[in-house]
């Protein structure tokens, strides 16, 4: 891999290959909205996105980017923790989502005390298995520099290893975050 290229760019390149107009996608950590906007662009026209964050400030920033791009109507913004996403996303989507992205840590430019946490992240990953379609993509960008970040990244990696029968993962290392980019292969009934 080209080590100069930020992993945030690599995620977008991989998602652009995975998604098509009309698809359903989920951003589990809207943050400043870069990933939500990218997902909305990839699934348009005809597709739809659910995006989650616990902070008004993050959802306002995300809404602003979507309005500017003319894509606000294609996205459901939820001020809900991603650990409740299965409940929030309509049953018609269950098993029919093409991609779910997580960008862990704290809101850049925001309160560094409000971060994702291993327990709720793992709960959301469990729910992602029910939401994704066969062949769907689960992408997790995990930062290790802030308190609790390295433990959260380790917990996510262990969880992915425990689900290796269903999730085929590529690990992209960098001096900062690690990107875990996985494809779901649902076991046949």
State the Cα–Cα distance between residues 42 and 49, nearest whole angstrom. 10
Among 40, 48, 49, 58, binds ligand SAH (CB under 6 A): 58
Q: Which is nearer to ligand SAH, 27 or 44 (CB)?
A: 27
Does position 52 interact with ligand SAH (CB under 6 A)? The reply is yes
How many of the other CB atoms lie within 10 Å of CB of 183?
A: 17
Give least dist CB 88 to ligand SAH, A. 11
Does position 103 interact with ligand SAH (CB under 6 A)? The reply is yes
How many of the other CB atoms lie within 10 Å of CB of 119?
A: 11
Does position 106 interact with ligand SAH (CB under 6 A)? The reply is yes
DSSP state, 186? P
Q: Which is nearer to ligand SAH, 23 or 35 (CB)?
A: 35
Does position 19 interact with ligand SAH (CB under 6 A)? The reply is no
Q: Which is nearer to ligand SAH, 132 or 153 (CB)?
A: 153
Q: Scan residues 27-46 and list those touching ligand SAH (CB under 6 A).
A: 29, 31
If you search the block for the tokens 């698809």, which residue do you land on?
23
Among 10, 43, 89, 107, binds ligand SAH (CB under 6 A): 107
Give least dist CB 21 to ligand SAH, A. 26
Burial classification of residue 157, based on how many CB atoms lie within 10 Å of its CB (0-12 exposed, 13-18 middle, 19 or more buried)? middle
> Do strands 97-103 and 132-142 pair parallel, antiparallel, or not at all (unpaired)?
parallel
Q: What angle do CA 113, 140, 83 make, to 5 degrees?
A: 60
Give least dist CB 120 to ligand SAH, A. 4
Show the 3-state SS of 76-126.
Answer: EEECCCHHHHHHHCCHHHCCCEEEEEEECCECCCCCCCCECCHHHHHHHHH
Q: Scan residues 127-166 and list those touching ligand SAH (CB under 6 A).
A: 143
What residues line the site for ligand SAH (CB under 6 A)? 29, 31, 52-55, 58, 81-83, 103, 105-108, 114-116, 120, 143
């Amino acid at each position: 891999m080209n080590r100069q290229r930020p992993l945030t760019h690599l995620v977008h390149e991989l998602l652009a290959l995975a998604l098509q107009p009309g698809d359903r996608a989920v951003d589990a950590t809207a943050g400043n909205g870069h990933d939500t906007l990218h997902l909305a662009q990839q699934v348009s026209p005809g597709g739809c996105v659910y995006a989650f964050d616990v902070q008004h400030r993050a959802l306002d920033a995300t809404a602003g980017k979507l309005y500017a791009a003319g894509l606000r109507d294609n996205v459901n913004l939820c001020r809900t923790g991603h650990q409740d996403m299965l409940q929030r996303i309509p049953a018609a989507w269950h098993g029919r989502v093409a991609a779910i992205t997580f960008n862990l840590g704290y809101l850049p430019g925001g309160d560094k005390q409000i971060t994702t946490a291993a327990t709720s992240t793992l709960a959301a990953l469990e729910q992602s298995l029910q939401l994704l379609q066969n062949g769907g993509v689960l992408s997790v960008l995990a930062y290790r520099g802030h308190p609790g970040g390295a433990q959260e990244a380790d917990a996510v990696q262990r969880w992915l290893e425990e689900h290796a029968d269903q999730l085929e993962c590529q690990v992209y290392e960098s001096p900062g975050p690690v990107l875990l980019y996985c494809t779901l292969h649902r076991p046949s009934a």
